[in-house]
Chains A and B, each alone.
Chain A
Amino acid sequence: MNVPVVQGATGQGRRGRSGRIGRSGRSGRSTEGWAGRVMAAPAVLLLVVFFLVPVVLCFVLAFTNARLVSPEPSTLIGLANFERLLHDPLFWQSLRNTFYFAVVVVPVQSALALVLALLVNGSSRGTNVFRTLYFIPVVTSIVVVSILWKFMYQQNGLVNHLLQAVSFNTIQGADWLANPSTAMPAIIAMSVWQAVGFHMVIWLSGLQTIPGELYEAAELDGTTPWQRFWHVTWPGLRNTRTFILVTITIAALSLFAQINVMTSGGPLGSTSTVVYQAVRVGFQQQETGYASAISLVFFALVLTISLVQRFLTRDKD
């Protein structure tokens, strides 16, 4: 990392010098271009090695019967992987679970984050304390969070004890992760809790770009707080909104770590997601080709959804 920075600095130094010596703009620009390329090189290299190459490989492997561990060379098998995908009940179940998760998490998490941001933004005292408190789960590793919640969700875990205490023993609580109907909601609640702080901070940054004069003017006009929110705050958060919508959607669709740690896709496949299935097929079952096909379909889905969202939230002016 050091080398490009040093070279970049030299490049800038040269440009400055050539600028002083004469107005040889052309040579200055070419030096600048060279320095720019050098500075971009590490990032480009990493992107190519860890993003572009794997994506291209994924496209190719999806049409082969490549295996993780096999002496036989992989051969092209056309669309057979995709055909198998169509008749794979676990794939359809995983797809349904993934959408279920996203459809609940996207609105709930963004709304909750906005509420938290408004609360934190309003009070001048203790803002930093609350901001830090809400942000702690975000900086904690998701694996650690998942393991802790796995214990909390047990039949005699913390969650059920709390429920009993709050309800004076009228609610007994389920064995959350062992029950097909409660496993996904339990994971949704935990995921929202873990990630909500991050989006709160983004909403906060959006709130702080809205000029204070607008609120003062609105107040002089005798508006209610609700009117101020609806006519000043909400339009002012336009760009933030789009950003949050797209990032939460993509994060929700790629649900994996929580599943891997907490349920392994069970019980009865009720928490299996597309990414979890791809990893399981690719590594445990060693079917690289089929896993690539799943990944490819997933990639197409995420791309489509993101494009539709971009289209719906485009600048209409």
Chain B
Amino acid sequence: MSVTSRSTMKRVAAATAGVAIAITAAGCGTAKESGGGSSGNELTLWTHNAGNPEELAVVQQIVKDYNASQQKYQVKVQAFPQESYNSSVVAAATSKKLPCLLDTDAPNVPNWAFANYLRPLDLPASLTDKQLKSTLGTYKNKLYAIGYYDAALAIFARKSAITSVGGRVPTIEKPWTAEEFKTTLTKLKAAGKYPIAFDLGTGDSGTEWWSYGYSPFLQSFGGDMINRETFKTAKGALNGPEAIAWGQWLQGLVKGGYSPAKSGPDAFADFVNGKSAMVWSGIWNSGNLSKLGADGVMLPPPDLGKGPKIGGGSWQWAISATCDKPEAALDYLKFSLDKKYLVAMAQKQNVIPATEEAAAALPDWAPGGAKRFFLEESKKFATMRPATPGYPYLTSTFAKATQDIVAGGDVKAILDQAAADIDSNLSSNNYYGF
């Protein structure tokens, strides 16, 4: 009924949610709510992984160990389902009820730092230097968030499919060139053993997969979502000759019949079931690859001009700007970055451990290990999504443009429109402080 008011409803909803959260917090806590994300000597911690028991268990273990390790502070975990996590944080921030400690998805860090949700982390270089670069959430050269792990993308393939058509199996040291990749696809299609030569995984209608999954190809061509020198325009980066070449390449994969315009809801399952020879997917599916035995391999993306690229940045931890005990929160973060917790994360989940010393403690991740591929890939090819507060607009616009390109629209017209939309958003926001 009140469709007209959905957008403005947000404010009221935010306030209501804030009140609800405050009531819940007061109801659960033993001490009185004093605001500032902590009460008495209690620090509240919010996490997105209520739907992921393995990850939540590690977080709870860290908190338990920390609470036992000292007498001064007690950390309390509140887990949210991932779908409603971001809106809960925005609602809580609106009503100044953010917890001291919270986790954030990497591309949101600049947006939240810009909006004064987060405070810079004063962590020693000895700690941060050990971390994979893509686990550090920075904005304007300041560190705002730090992660226990990262994710990575790869081409998952059947080795036999490639070798049977005379193709070369690429490695991180010697990835496919654009030409080699094209030849392999053509041969795979001609052989006809698999209905789909290379499934791009376009069945996901959500936004972030489209940016995380397909912008690395754009960067490999030499384009980008925004000009990263200035962060003041998308013109040239998103609609220059390199970007148009990317759009035509991507559209060509669909038009040429190598990849479906709309993949099945689970492209990886289709791959395991023999519908496709190769699929573009992420480390989160690597557990299912074992169903193919030795024939299932992980391959780096092709070098489309500027070297192979994959997305970087996963969930990271931050401290809210309204936290009234930042030193205690920082103390907890330092404690939690201990090697044994990074090891536990990588052990229980399909994620890349954030440091080499953690990787060395895990046979799969040590040099020569079965999963080492992802760590090497992440080190060499990971490209962070643009670290600008305007990212929510960027990703939404880029995702729609990519969807339109895959659906067969006019590449140049789509990219020109997307670049113009982004530029008008940037200028109407005073370039987000750049």
Contacts and interface: CB of A to CB of B under 8 A. Distances in A.
A267 B404 contact: yes
A177 B90 CA distance: 33
B273 interface: no
Contacts of B117: 69
A68 B90 contact: yes
Most chain A Cβ neighbours within 10 Å, of B7, B260, B400, B403: B7
B429 A67 contact: yes
B9 interface: yes
Contacts of B174: none
Contacts of A61: 7-8
Contacts of B6: 275, 278-279, 282, 295
A51 B116 contact: no
B410 to A, nearest CB: 10
A166 B397 CA distance: 42
Contacts of A177: 262
B363 interface: no
B5 A295 contact: yes
Contact of B393 (A155, A285, A296): A285
Contacts of B409: 268
A267 B409 CA distance: 9
B5 A54 contact: yes
Contact of B7 (A50, A264, A278): A278
Interface stretch (A10-18, A219-227, A286-294): A286-294
Interface in A118-153: 151
A31 interface: no
**Best-buried of B8, B115, B206 by chain A (most CB within 10 Å):** B8
Given A69-B112, A71-B116, A178-B262, A254 B205 contact: no
B205 to A, nearest CB: 4
A256 B2 contact: no
Given A89-B417, A151-B265, A268-B408, A292 B7 contact: yes
B7 A284 contact: no
A15 B261 CA distance: 71
Contact of B5 (A51, A70, A89): A51
Q: Chain A interface mostly helix, strand, loop or mixed?
A: helix
A27 B3 CA distance: 43
Given A70-B115, A268-B408, A50 B9 contact: yes
A54 B115 contact: no
A264 B397 CA distance: 13
A281 B112 CA distance: 18
Contact of B2 (A50, A84, A284): A50
A14 B280 CA distance: 75
A53 interface: yes
B5 A55 contact: yes
Contact of B4 (A70, A84, A264, A296): A296
Contacts of B1: 51
A65 interface: yes
B318 to A, nearest CB: 15
B424 interface: yes
A269 interface: yes
A154 B407 contact: no
Interface of B is mostly: helix
A177 B403 CA distance: 13
A290 B320 CA distance: 29
A95 B395 CA distance: 24
A234 interface: no
B8 A268 contact: no
B69 interface: no
B430 interface: yes
A249 interface: no
A198 interface: no
B396 interface: yes
B251 to A, nearest CB: 12
A266 B117 CA distance: 33
B3 A266 contact: no
Given A51-B2, A55-B2, A268-B408, A284 B207 contact: yes
Contacts of A275: 3, 6
B305 interface: no
Contact of B8 (A58, A262, A265): A58
A178 B2 contact: no
Interface in A285-316: 285-288, 291-292, 294-296, 298-299, 302
Interface in B403-434: 403-404, 406-409, 417, 424-425, 428-430
B40 interface: no
A279 B407 CA distance: 22
Contacts of A178: 261-262, 407
Given A69-B115, A280-B396, 6 more contacts: A51-B2, A54-B12, A58-B7, A70-B114, A72-B429, A262-B205
30 contacts: A50-B2, A51-B1, A54-B12, A55-B4, A57-B5, A61-B8, A68-B10, A69-B112, A69-B392, A70-B115, A70-B389, A72-B429, A175-B262, A177-B262, A254-B3, A266-B205, A267-B261, A267-B408, A268-B409, A269-B404, A275-B6, A278-B7, A279-B7, A284-B392, A285-B392, A285-B393, A287-B393, A288-B10, A295-B4, A302-B4
The 10 tightest CB contacts between A and B, nearest first, are: A54-B5, A267-B407, A282-B7, A299-B4, A178-B262, A57-B8, A291-B7, A58-B8, A284-B396, A264-B205
